[in-house]
Amino acid sequence: MAVQSVLAAPAAAHIAVQSAATTGLTSGRLVGTTAAVVALAGVVIGGLALARSTGRPGIGGRRYRAVMALAAGLAGLAMGVVNLAVADGGPGTGNGVIGGAMALVLGLTGTALGGLALTRARRTG
């Protein structure tokens, strides 16, 4: 009898852990992923703003790209911070914690790249 209860306890704990993990796309994961994608767009646009202008019409100048990188980076950063603030669980709970953390890092990076590109655009004209 004692052997059954010793073996049943880890099995019950394993089932409880499996049921706590949420699979699929939840609203929290959607917000976290959207925040990360917006912040990633800020990083990409910031990188393009720092690159030398190719002079192609229709793409926008360095200043325009720098402002867009700043806007996208700040938007992704804000969405990631709010998502992390309202999350009531850790990774794997369906609250978008990982996406929010990625948005935080990428948003800071995009904002920094956009700010750097904007200061360079002001100096070079």
- Helices in 54-96 by DSSP H: which ranges? 62-86
Tokens of 23: 């699979």
pLDDT of residue 104: 93
What angle, 0 to 180 degrees and rounded to 10, lies between the N-to-C axes of helices 27-50 and 62-86?
160
Is 53 strand, coil or helix?
A: coil
Rounded distance, CA 44 to CA 95, Å?
26
**Which pLDDT tens digits describe the chain residue by residue (125 residues)?**
555 655 555 555 555 444 456 677 777 788 888 999 999 999 999 888 888 655 555 556 778 888 899 999 999 999 999 988 888 877 877 777 888 899 999 999 999 999 998 888 776 65
pLDDT of residue 84: 86
